[in-house]
Amino acid sequence: MLHVRLVIAAFFVLTTTHALATSAAETDAVIGVESAAPPNIVFIMADDLGYGDLGCFGQKEMLTPNIDGLAASGMRFTQCYSGSTVCAPSRCSLLTGKHNGHARVRGNAGWDGKDRVKTPELPLEDDDVTIAEVLKKSGYATGATGKWGVGQPGTSGMPTRQGFDEFLGFLNQRHAHGYYPEYIWRNETMISLDQNLGGQQNDWIHDRMTEFALDFIRENQQQPFFLYVPYTIPHGRYEVPTDNPYSDRDWPQPLRSYAAMITRMDTDVGKMLHLLEDLKIIDNTLVFFTSDNGAEIYYFREHDLVDVFDETLNSRGGLTGWKRDLTDGGIRVPMIASWPGHIPAGQTSEFVCALYDILPTLADVAGTTPPPGIDGQSILPTLLGGTQAAHEFLYWEFFERGFQQAVRHGPYKAIRLKQGKPLQLFNVMEDPGEQIDIAGRHPDIIAKVEDYLKTARTDSPFWP
């Protein structure tokens, strides 16, 4: 395979996927030509959005016309996985390009190896290298708004200490559970939201996040920019100013609110896309949309609405499990990528990838190199309509229910829900619901996965 960074330099000049087939000699010739600026990058990530929550991924009840249009203009990934089945480790994996076996943050809370007490959210450290730090080396302006989750106030993990020029949002992910908070963080300063003090609900925080995103695009339109938008929609609590356009649906209120939040987020995604068009920079902007993990049922379980939620909205899209599960319902996520004139429109890819592939992909797009020691690989060839080698395997580990592990290898998915127990094995291409355990039929695959598990992780004092 050609060196992708050489290919992308040629690609900016030729503006055609034919650049993937350019010979080494032709590529060298093109490098001497002044190329266009690297593209802007907008990465939007929902919070607990299920695999089946978008119209373009089979949703029948909830309206997501702008995100569906984004998919129609680009590529829809049907075999994309999050870095984890819960929030903080998923964000760490995305930002640093490492899977759960190597990442700094491997759970929403860790364990102090000496005192065996639960720790609060572990922050990223100075030697962790994030997407923002990689892109800043290539001259990108960097901004983020939404839920951070990998750096408490005053720690090395704060966004402005991990490569972001500007930030507006929640640092602590528990603080992010409400949509009418009494304060929010702007860079490293706490900002009071006076209209929400004393239990008032007048300042819906997602409107502020969208305003930040739009302002950031306007202010940086003359230079390459990276905008990271990890919205907290549709994470519970299900608080939204109005349940339109579902007010007349014969659904329990939490379902109407859930659906309204998703459609409202879709409207905000549309505002960003329309602004990019109005500024005439959409053709030089790479836009991603995805989710951090599978759908959550905690709040529906509290109200005995899990079955109604599942049957009415089908958020899992036919997969098994929810957030906090290592079955695909907990970790397979919808992903869309659009870059008009570059990514072929209306495409669907079954290439097996993970959100920890985003860092090396964006490094390739920016014409720079990712940090050493990461687990992700660039999927730029796939985005541009070409072919590339697959991952040997994807890996997850999860600690809230004991030490659980999962591996995706080709069409196969292996899961160990309890240490010392045999692996379960599923062919998720043929059996996406993971209903038929075929471990007994494939001892060779089981042996290979067991070998992967011996080397897939390094020990962590917080997640031993």
Using DSSP bridges, classify how beta strands 141-147 and 166-170 pair: parallel, antiparallel or unpaired: parallel
Residue range 396-455, CATH number: 3.30.1120.10
Predicted local distance difference test score (pLDDT) of residue 174: 86
Please, what is the average pLDDT of the chain? Answer: 91
- In 301-419, DSSP assigns E strands to 332-338, 347-349, 353-354, 394-398, 404-409, 412-416
The HSE-up count of residue 268 (CA atoms within 13 Å, CB side) is: 25
Predicted local distance difference test score (pLDDT) of residue 61: 98
Orientation angle between helical segments 205-219 and 253-278, nearest 10 degrees: 10
Contacts of 208 by beta carbon, 8 Å cutoff, 6+ apart: 168, 184
The SS3 of residue 416 is strand
Over residues 114-139, mean pLDDT: 85
Question: What is the per-residue DSSP string for 443-460?
Answer: HHHHHHHHHHHHHS----
Residue span(s) of the chain under CATH 3.40.720.10 come to 40-392
Over residues 163-185, mean pLDDT: 95
Residue span(s) of the chain under CATH 3.30.1120.10 come to 396-455
* Selected residue with higher pLDDT from 118 and 412: 412
Lowest mean pLDDT: which of 100-114, 258-272, 312-326, 410-424?
100-114
The HSE-up count of residue 441 (CA atoms within 13 Å, CB side) is: 7
Among the listed residues 237, 251, 220, 31, the one whose alpha carbon sits nearest the alpha carbon of residue 135? 220
Residues 432-464 have pLDDT tens digits of: 999 999 999 999 999 999 999 999 999 998 888
Please list the alpha-helical segments (H only) found in 76-204.
87-96, 131-136
Over residues 317-321, mean pLDDT: 97
Over residues 405-424, mean pLDDT: 97
Question: What radius of gyration, in Å, describes the C-alpha atoms of the chain?
Answer: 21
Cβ atoms 97, 354 nearer than 8 A: no
Rounded to the nearest 5°, which phi and psi values hold at 250? -85, 60
Predicted local distance difference test score (pLDDT) of residue 119: 63
Residues 6-23 have pLDDT tens digits of: 333 333 333 333 333 333
Over residues 172-195, mean pLDDT: 96
Over residues 92-115, mean pLDDT: 87
Share of the chain above pLDDT 90, in %: 87
Predicted local distance difference test score (pLDDT) of residue 406: 98
What are the Cα distances from residue 287, in Å, to 166, 178, 227? Answer: 19, 27, 10
Contacts of 148 by beta carbon, 8 Å cutoff, 6+ apart: 91, 158, 159, 167, 169, 170, 171, 173, 230
CATH superfamily assigned to domain 40-392: Alkaline Phosphatase, subunit A (3.40.720.10)
Predicted local distance difference test score (pLDDT) of residue 382: 98
